[in-house]
Amino acid sequence: MNNVNLIGYLGRDFEIGTTGNGKLYAKNSLAITKKWKNEKGNDESSTTWIPIVLFGKSAESASMYIKKGSQFACSGELSSSQYTDETGNTKTILSVIVSKFYWLGKKDKEDAKQITQTPPKEPNIEYEHPTTNIESEEIPF
């Protein structure tokens, strides 16, 4: 069984595009922060950035309504792909192909605008490998 469930904050607005066969996709990174106290009792945290990809109507809806900083929950399948970089080294990329998602944002009572929380600063992640096929879907990382 390959099932992943995540809740985190979107690092940016969705980047949308189309695959080589014309299917719409939306990609983003989800920030998931773990917090704990160290041996001295001080607060510490660590943020993991997880690349996510949505396809079809899900991609369209998410990119239209869910923006940077929104809390986002999703279920999907963990996908890995490999590529060879310009120096000949093999690299592996993990991402989640989202099958279901939930926007956990809130509405402001006064003007019904979306309130977003500021997630940690997203690192500059380069997705340099060529398109990969997962069950005939092209993964745009």
Please report the sign of the dihedral spanned by the C-alpha atoms of residue 124, residue 125, residue 127, residue 133: negative
Q: Are strands 90-103 and 71-84 parallel, antiparallel or unpaired?
A: antiparallel
**C-alpha to C-alpha distance for 64 and 51, rounded to whole angstroms:** 19
Summarize pLDDT for 45-81 with one digit per residue, the tens: 999 999 999 999 999 999 999 999 999 999 999 999 8
pLDDT grade for 137, boundaries at 50, 70 and 90: low
Write the single-letter amino acid at 135. Answer: E
DSSP-derived letter for residue 22 is: S
**Whole-number pLDDT of residue 136:** 44
- pTM for this entry: 0.71
Query: What is the Cα 70 distance to its own chain's centre?
Result: 12
Report whether pLDDT(85) > 50. yes
DSSP-derived letter for residue 123 is: P
